Amino acid sequence: MKRSLCALVGALLLGTSAGAALAQDLYIGTLEVKKDQVILTRCDLAANRYVLRDREGEQEKPVARLREKLKALKAPVYVEVIGEYAEIEGEDGAALDVIGLENLKAGKSCHLTDALGSN
């Protein structure tokens, strides 16, 4: 996993344009589908939530493929999302325009509350 993450960070830093590379970030969390939207709950203390969207104008549609794949996977589903943060207009929420998805793993969580167990 360390090798994959290092390669991912290196690829982001060596992007085609410096401006685009600075806007991209890595978001680690777990996935769920609500009302046909794929939601990432980030593995941070605040458990920030983001609607995942395919980037406009891109031929690759990683979120559309992921939505279908999630139907067959056992929750929780861990993923590392390469994306750009975006506000959702007209709503109180945030989105990620997805560039890529890495290390999708069913039955894995990175949330502290899951590690401690729910007693």
pLDDT in tens, 33-52: 998 899 999 998 888 999 99
CATH number of 25-116: 2.40.50.140
Stretches where the chain sits below pLDDT 70 are: 1-23, 112, 115-119
Which residue, chain included where needed, has tokens 């360390």?
Answer: 2
87 closest CA partner among 51, 41, 33: 51
70 closest CA partner among 107, 31, 37, 96: 31
How far apart are alpha carbons 36 and 15 in whole angstroms? Answer: 31
Q: Are 111 and 41 in contact (CB under 8 A)?
A: yes
Looking at residue 3, the DSSP 8-state letter turns out to be H
Write down the domain spans for the chain: 25-116
Mean pLDDT (the chain, rounded): 81
